[in-house]
Structure 1
Amino acid sequence: MSASSRAPFDPYDPLGLDDLLTPEDRAVRDTVRGWAAQRVLPHVAGWYERGELPEIRELARELGGIGALGMQLTGYGCAGASAVQYGLACVELEAADSGIRSLVSVQGSLAMYAIHRFGSAEQKERWLPSMAAGEVIGCFGLTEPDHGSDPAGMRTRAVRDGSDWLLDGRKMWITNGSVAGVAVVWAATDEGVRGFVVPTDTPGFSAPEIRHKWSLRASVTSELVLDGVRLPADAVLPEVTGLRGPLSCLNHARYGIVWGAMGAARACFEAALEYARGREQFGRPIGAFQLTQAKLADMAVELHKGILLAHHLGRRMDAGTLRPEQVSFGKLNNVREAIEICRTARTVLGANGISLEYPVMRHATNLESVLTYEGTVEMHQLVLGKALTGFDAFRG
C-alpha cells in the first residue's frame, strides 16, 4: 500500500480502532452518542453543581426507547446486543457523565441481569419488560455500611415466617435507590445468601437519599432500610444460592466499567487536545511546546491501549471465554489509567481545568468513585495475585 492511499492520521483514533467495528457496532455507538449529546451534555454541569439528577425518570424512559437498558439481555423487550455493543454504549454514556453510565449499569447489568439469569419465569415477565422500557427503575442492594469488599460478612438477614420471608437490614451506596420501583436485595439466610425481588412500595422498605457527595453528584445514591419487610415465598430468586449470585452480577457490571472509564478519559483527553491547540502562551499555542505534546502523547497512548483492551475483553465475552480475572485486569488498568489521564488533562488546562465549563474536574472526581466501586484497586490486585500465584491473600 502506498503512503498516498493510506487514511490520514486521526488524532481522535490514532490506532484506527474504528476498523474493528461492524456497521451495527457503529450504529449503536452513534445512537447513544447522539442521545447523550442532546440530552445530557447541555445540562450535566448544572446537575453536577446542584448535586441532582432531576430528570432521571424521563431519562430512563428515553434510554429504554433507544434500547440501552439491559441491552445485552435477550427477550422481554431487551435489545440482545453484543458485549462489544454494550461496551461502546458505556463509553458514550460515561463520556457524558459517570452518573449516567451508572444509572444504565445498575439497571441493566445488576438489577435486570440478576432477574434475567436467576429469576423465575413469573419474575421475568413481571419486571423485565417494564425495566427494559425504562418505565420501572431498579436498584441492587449488596453493599452494607460495614461490609463492602467482604459481602460474606453481610448482616442483612432473611428468615422464614410460615410461607413468607421477613427481611431486616441496611444497604449502603445504592445507585437509583430512592427512585427505584424494584430492588434486588441480597440477604443471609439459614441456607446461604439469597436474592430477593423487593417492590419498593412494600411496607418496611425505605430508601433515604445520600447527600453531600463530592463525586457522582449527577446520580441518585441512597441507603436501603429494611425493617421487617414481609415478602411472599415467590419473591426469592430461585436459581441461585450463595455469593456466586451477586458476584456474577458484579462481574457483568465491572465489564461495563472497563469500557465506561475510557469514555471519561476520552472526554478529558479531547478537551485537553482542543485547549492545547487554541490556548496561547509566550506567543504560541501551548500545544506547540514539547512538554505539552509529551502529556498529550502519553494520554493518547494510555487511552487507546485501554480501549483496545476493552475491545479484546468484549470479543472474549461474546465468544463465551471471558474469565472473571480478566475483567479484574481490565477494571484495574482502565480506571487507574483513566484517572491519570484526567489529572494530566487538568494540568494542560491550568486553572480552567477546575471549572465546570470544562468536563475535566467533573470526570476526575467521578472516577474517584468508579475506582472503588465494583471492587477496589486492592481487591482486583488480589484477584490477579491469586490467579498469578495460586495463593489466596484475601484473608491472610
Structure 2
Amino acid sequence: MWEVFFVKIYGFGRISPSQDPSGANRNAIPKNDRLSVKCMAMDFATSDLPLSTPMDVRLDITKLADAAFPLRWGIIGASSISAQWVMCLRECEGATVTAVAARSADRAKEFAAKYGITSSYGSYAEMVAAPDVDIVYVGTITRLHKEHSLLAIEAGKHVLCEKPLAENASDARAMYTASVAKDVMLQDGMWTRFFPAVEHARVAIEAGTIGEVVMTQSDFFDPIYAIQAAPLAFGAQAVPTAITAAGRKASGAIVEYGDEKCAVLTFPPSNCELAEVTELIGTKGRITLEQPGHCPTRITIRVPPPNGVPSRYRTANAPAPVQLFEYPLPGAVSIPRGSPNQHGFLYQAEAVHRCLAAGLRECPQYNQEESLHAMDLLTEINKAKQVATQS
C-alpha cells in the first residue's frame, strides 16, 4: 500500500508595495503561505518561508517586493515564444515592454500593434541602442542567440536569452565573458528552474530528505531541458567521468559522475508522446517533478520508512509514504499557443527584476556555472553523436 499526502499551495508569498508601502516587511511571507510538513518519513522544521520560496529570496540576497523594480524591456524576435514572454511580462509589476525588433520593420510593427508595444524596429542594432530599453529578451532561433545577445551586451543592456543559451559551450563562454566585461546581466532562459515545484525540490535535496542524490532521469524532446537536470542533481562543480551518446541524431545520453552517480537523459523525437518527467533519486528516496517536467506544477516525494526494505528493491516490496505538492500557476494569462504552463515565465521574470534590484548579475536558480555545465554536456553529447555517425 502507498500512503499518500496531498498539499495544495496557492502562491508563494508575493507582496506588492501597495500591501507594504513602508517596505518594513518586504521579505515577509503571509501566515497562510507558510508551510510545515511532518509525517512518517519526512520532517520539515517549521519555517517562516514556504518550501517553494524563490532561491534568491531564500538565500536572503533579494526581497520579494523587488519584483516591482522598474525595468523597460526590449524584445528581439517577433516569434511565438517572444509573444508568450511579452504576455507574461504584463503580470510582472515592475515590467514595461517598450520596444520590439524583428528582421522586417513590418513584422515588428505588426507585433507591436498586437501586443501594445510603443516602439518597433526593423533593426536589432537600433533597438538595443534605444534609451528607453534597460534589458533585452532574445527570442530568436538558437544559432542567432550569440550574435543578438552580444549586440545587446555591447550596447550596455542586460540580457535574458532563451535556452539553449548558444549552439555550443565555447559560444556561451564568450557571451558570459562579454557580459562580465560590460557589467550587465546575461541570464540563461532556463525557466524550469524558477517554478515553485523545482524550488521545493532543491530545498528537499539540500535538506537531505532523499539522502545523497545518486541518479537523475529526465525526459524531454528538447535536449537542453533533460540535460539541465544533471547540474540540478549533482551540482555545477561535479565533473563528468564518462558521457555515452550515439546515433546520427542522438535520442539520449548517459552521463557518469564517478563510479556510483549518473544522469540518464532522454530526448527522443517529438513525434511521439513522452513521459516528460524528471526524477531525482537519492540513497533514501526520490523526488519526481511530474509531467510536464520542464514546467512542473506538481512534485512527488517518496521516502521509505527508515526501518523498511532498502529502497533498491521494487517499490511494491518497499512501501513508502508518497507526498504530492501542487503549486497552481500565477494567474490566468492568455497564451497565444497551446504549450503547457507558459505563463510560468512570470516566475523567471520576477526573479530577474529582484536580482537586478539587488545589483546582481545572475539569478542563483540557474547561474553561469550551472548554465555552462549544461552547455558543456550538450557540446560533448553532440561530439559523441558525431563520432558514432562517422564510425
What TM-score, normalized to structure 1? 0.30
Higher helix share: 1
Identify the structure with the greater strand proportion. Answer: 2
The one of the two structures with greater contact order (alpha-carbon pairs below 8 A, sep at least 6) is 2
TM norm structure 2: 0.30
